Every structure is written in C-alpha cells, then in structure tokens.
C-alpha cells in the first residue's frame, strides 16, 4: 500500500500508513523502508526522508541497500541538494552502481550542473555503455548549455557503440481499444480532429497564463515552429484524444514509456482546470495525478 501511494506521489498518506503500521506494533523491514523512502523521494519530502533513513539504521538495524541509497540520491538531487547527494554517494558503504549514478545524472540534468553531471556520465559510460537514456540526458544537458561540440561528440559515441535510441510513445485505452501515439510522426486516423481540439486548448491556456516551454526544443527554428513541435508531443495528443472520445467527467488515463516533459506536465495541469477533468499519466514507476491545476508529485519529478 505504501509503495502504491509512493507511485501516485501521495506522500502524506504514505507516511500516515507507515506510522499507523508502527503504532499497530508491526516491525518494518528493508522492503518497507524502500517504500517509505520512495514516498519521500516522489513527493520531495527531504526532511522526512533523512528521518526515516536514519531511523531505519539506528532503531531497526536495517542495513541500507542499493535501493535505499538510490532513493536518497534521487530525493536529494531532484530537490536541488546536489552537493548533499554527492556527499551521500561518496560516503555510502556500498559501491555506487548504475542506479545510483543514473539518479544523480538525472538530477544534474534537471539543475544544469555540468561539472557533477560529467562525473556521473564518466561512471555510466563504463557501467551501462548501451543505455541510450544516459546518452540522451547528456545530449539534452549539453544542448541546454549551448555546448554543440559536446552534443556532436556524444552522438558520435552513440553511433560508434551502436546504441539504439528507445522508441517514444504514449497510449490510451478507449472503449477496450488501445491507441498508440508515436513520436516518429506516424499519422493517426483522427489526426485532424485531434490537432484542431489541441489548438483550441492551447489558445484557452494562453489566455489563462500558459507560456509554452520552447527551451526544451533544440532545433534551430523560430519560436512559432518550436511551439508546433511541442504540439506533437505524444502525451498531448493522447490526452486530447481522450478529451474528444471520453465525454462527461470521466478521468483521462494515459501511459508513456519515458519521462513526461516539463511542458506536457504544465499542459496536463491546465487541462485539469479548463476541462474539469482528472488526468492520470503513468511514466515508468511514477504516476502523475492531475486535478484542479495541481499534480500529485508537487512538481518534484
């Protein structure tokens, strides 16, 4: 139950369940603490995360595993405490593996810390030479910092190591049918209707304060072209299709095979208000629950 609440970013409820478990006299084990730390990680509860990590060792004698340490690094890094995350990695009793360095690299990308990112990247090239996600994180960080030679060098590394980039897609189920939207631009039967509705939505959102995050589009094109490229993100297309096909106030549920981008996250919040719809977006082991303009992750993802 605690891990389920962690997936949905329902931090306070997850901690409440854990405390109720302790009050009932139940003894938490290593798996329980993995769930509790995941709750803190996914909800950005840094103070509570430290509390339970220390409690786990000092009071219950649970020896930290890689899973526990990964939660701590992810929690600290995503919350902006990169130096603390780095110190944690340097002092942890276990040898950092790809999970640890991957979590740290992701946090460095979010906060644009190139120096620490390259430290993690150096380790990951050895530990996971075929993991395209690591290459793409570095490429995107270099792009954000206008380091174009480094972008090309990293692309060359991918080609030389024959690293295959993961296909990007989002799917939604409508009336027992699963419809998949691909990032490669494959045409959809209802494409015209989808884009018509999406353009209407974006126009309404702009009147309510929405500003497209064109910084995540790195092609050398005009701002208007960047906005068009943002429109084609598979999450937006799937959510819009759900609005068209699911009438009334039924929740819109979509699943993405990679992380949601910042602009799509913002759009989902606006849709939840403007269309009075609950949006549930799965990405890997995380679930974003949008309602009344807010997300269950508290924007910590």
pLDDT in tens, 79-97: 999 999 999 999 999 999 9
Identify the pLDDT of residue 194: 94
Residue that finishes a domain, picked among 160, 192, 224: 160
Same domain, 146 and 244: no
For the question of whether the overall pTM of this predicted structure is more than 0.75, the answer is yes
Write out the H or E segment, with its range, that includes residue 282: strand 279-283
Residue 259 has pLDDT above 80, yes or no: yes
CB 263 within 8 A of CB 212: yes
Provide mean pLDDT across the span 32-52: 93
Of the candidate ranges 204-208, 281-285, 289-293, the one whose mean pLDDT is the lowest: 281-285
Same domain, 266 and 291: yes
Q: What is the DSSP letter of 215?
A: G
Residue that finishes a domain, picked among 118, 133, 160: 160
Residue 243 has pLDDT above 90, yes or no: yes
Helices 82-91, 98-110: inter-axial angle, 10-degree rounding: 170
Measure Cα distances from 202 to 196, 205, 206 in Å: 10, 5, 6
* pLDDT band, very low/low/confident/very high, at 268 (cuts 50, 70, 90): very high
User: Which residue's entry shows tokens 């126009």?
Assistant: 203
In a domain, 301, yes or no: no
Identify the pLDDT of residue 36: 94
Same domain, 150 and 205: no
Tell me whether strands 286-291 and 294-295 are parallel, antiparallel or unpaired: antiparallel
pLDDT in tens, 94-132: 999 999 999 999 999 989 999 999 999 999 999 999 999
In a domain, 287, yes or no: yes
pLDDT in tens, 269-279: 999 999 999 99
Helices 66-78, 82-91: inter-axial angle, 10-degree rounding: 160
Residue that finishes a domain, picked among 109, 143, 160: 160
Identify the pLDDT of residue 187: 66
CATH number of the domain bearing residue 73: 1.25.40.10
pLDDT in tens, 14-32: 888 888 988 899 999 999 9
276's CB contacts (< 8 A; 6+ apart) are 249
Provide mean pLDDT across the span 200-209: 96
Provide mean pLDDT across the span 236-251: 93
Residue 245 has pLDDT above 90, yes or no: yes
In a domain, 300, yes or no: no
* pLDDT band, very low/low/confident/very high, at 266 (cuts 50, 70, 90): very high
Residue 8 has pLDDT above 70, yes or no: no
pLDDT in tens, 56-85: 999 999 999 999 999 999 999 999 999 999
* pLDDT band, very low/low/confident/very high, at 185 (cuts 50, 70, 90): low
Closest of 227, 210, 211 to residue 219, by C-alpha:
227
In a domain, 185, yes or no: yes
CB 1 within 8 A of CB 17: yes
CB 40 within 8 A of CB 48: yes
> Residue 203, exposed/middle/buried by CB under 10 A (0-12, 13-18, 19+)?
exposed
> Mean pLDDT for the chain?
91
Identify the pLDDT of residue 301: 64
Same domain, 67 and 173: no
**Token pair recorded at residue 57:** 């060792």
In a domain, 130, yes or no: yes
Instruction: Report the number of distinct structural domains present in the chain.
Output: 2
User: Domain span at residue 109?
Assistant: 2-160
Same domain, 35 and 132: yes
Same domain, 151 and 205: no
Identify the pLDDT of residue 188: 73
d(CA 278, CA 250) in angstroms, rounded, equals 7
* pLDDT band, very low/low/confident/very high, at 300 (cuts 50, 70, 90): low
Measure Cα distances from 45 to 7, 12, 68, 102 in Å: 14, 9, 15, 20
């Amino acid at each position: 139950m605690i891990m389920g609440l962690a997936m949905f970013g329902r931090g306070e409820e997850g901690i409440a369940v854990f405390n109720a478990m302790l009050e009932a006299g139940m003894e938490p084990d290593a798996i329980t603490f993995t769930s509790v730390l995941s709750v803190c990680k996914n909800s950005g509860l840094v103070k509570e995360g430290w509390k339970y990590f220390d409690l786990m060792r000092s009071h219950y004698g649970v020896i930290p595993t890689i899973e526990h340490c990964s939660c701590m690094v992810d929690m600290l890094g995503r919350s902006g405490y990169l130096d603390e995350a780095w110190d944690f990695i340097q002092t942890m009793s276990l040898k950092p593996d790809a999970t640890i360095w991957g979590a740290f690299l992701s946090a460095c990308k979010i906060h644009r810390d190139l120096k620490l990112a390259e430290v993690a990247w150096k380790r990951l090239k050895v530990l996971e030479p075929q993991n395209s996600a690591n290459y793409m994180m570095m490429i995107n960080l270099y792009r954000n910092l206008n380091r174009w030679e480094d972008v090309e060098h990293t692309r060359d590394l991918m080609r030389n190591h024959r690293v295959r980039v993961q296909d990007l897609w989002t799917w939604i189920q409508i009336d027992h049918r699963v419809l998949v939207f691909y990032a490669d631009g494959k045409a959809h039967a209802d494409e015209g209707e989808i884009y018509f509705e999406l353009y209407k939505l974006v126009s309404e959102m702009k009147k309510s304060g929405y500003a497209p995050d064109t910084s995540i589009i790195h092609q050398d094109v005009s701002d208007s072209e960047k906005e068009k490229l943002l429109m084609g993100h598979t999450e937006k297309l799937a959510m819009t299709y759900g609005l068209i096909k699911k009438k009334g106030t039924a929740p819109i549920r979509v699943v993405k095979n990679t992380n949601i981008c910042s602009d799509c996250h913002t759009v989902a919040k606006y849709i939840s208000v403007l269309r009075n719809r609950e949006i549930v977006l799965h990405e890997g082991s995380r679930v974003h629950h949008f309602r009344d303009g807010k997300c269950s992750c508290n924007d910590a993802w």
